[in-house]
Amino acid sequence: MNCQKYSELESEVRSTLQKLKELTESQLAAFRACDQPEFIRLDKELEQTMGAKERVIGAFRQHAEEHNCQARSEGKPQTPSPLKNQERASTG
Ligand SMILES: [Zn+2]
């Protein structure tokens, strides 16, 4: 099943994660170089990107769930797990 929205969100997740990785590497470089202003600038950017990542992953998962359009769904049977009350385990 092909879903336009799904692939859009998928590539958004990918690029956001990629950006996080690059920012993290840049921040590490700034840290090593003792470049305080750059370090702080990157820290703020990382924080924003982290927030964006959470939003985009949330949207991605929500869409896949609501629309039921996961790219590689092989229709695995969803067995409902019966939550039985655990009976008293007899120890001794
Ligand atoms: Zn969809």
As a whole number, the mean pLDDT across the chain is: 85
61 domain-assigned: yes
Is 83 a member of any domain? no
Range of the domain at 16: 4-67
CA of 51 to the centre of ligand 1 (A): 23
Neighbours of ion ligand 1 (CB under 5 A): 3, 5-6, 67, 69
Q: 7: how many CB neighbours lie within 10 A of its CB?
A: 12
Which position has the higher pLDDT, 16 or 78?
16
- What's the pLDDT tens digit per position in 16-53? 999 999 999 999 999 999 999 999 999 999 999 999 99
Strands (DSSP E) contained in the chain are: none
Query: What is the torsional sign of CA 81, 84, 88, 90?
Result: negative
Is 76 inside a domain boundary? no
Is residue 26 in a domain? yes
Domain assignment present for residue 34? The answer is: yes
Q: Is residue 50 part of a domain?
A: yes
pLDDT at 73 (0 to 100)? 47
- The answer to whether residue 46 sits within a structural domain is yes
Q: pTM to 2 decimals?
A: 0.70
84 within a domain of the structure (yes/no): no
| Domains in the chain, number | 1
Q: How far is CA 18 from CA 12, 15, 66, 70, 92, in A?
A: 10, 5, 26, 21, 54
